[in-house]
Amino acid sequence: MKKLTTYFIIVHTVMLLIAGFGIWFILKEFFPEILTDSYFVIPVFFYLLGLIFIYVFNHTSLENPQKVVNVYMLLRMIKIFISAAIIFIYWIVDKEGIRSFAIVFVVFYVINMIWETYIYMRMEMYFKYKG
């Protein structure tokens, strides 16, 4: 399991570095009106949540598959509420820039959901073939 966790952490880091710099470059070159000064907050937020996601799955008991699914769904719900809180806080702080921030945030959210689903599926396959 340690090898799988290390693999996910490395791939997660690389994926978010590529997505973070890639989206930043695209926004800077093609959509400069959407690029916000607080852009760096978005990839850092999703990176930290991804690390928490990987850590929690690493420490979840695998003997009850239903519990693993429940943990996965709980993490998704927590992510939704924290994301809504981040957008709400940004709206309070910078009402003029909320549209751009929210658009970029949603793009990262979708990318991150796809990535988390991939991690979950790989973990499930690992546990299925290991056990």
Per DSSP, the three-state class of 35 is: coil
Q: Output the pTM of the full model.
A: 0.86
Q: pLDDT, tens digit, for every residue of 24-81?
A: 999 999 999 988 888 999 999 999 998 998 888 788 777 777 887 888 889 889 999 9
Please enumerate in sequence order all residues whose Cβ is within 8 A of that of 58, keeping only pairs 6 or more positions apart, or say none: 1, 5
Token code pair at residue 74: 């709980």
Distance CA 104, CA 109 (A): 9
Question: Are 8 and 52 in contact, with CB atoms under 8 Å apart?
Answer: no
Q: Can you list the alpha helix ranges (DSSP code H) found in 1-131?
A: 2-30, 41-58, 65-93, 98-130
Confidence of residue 131 (pLDDT cuts 50, 70, 90): low
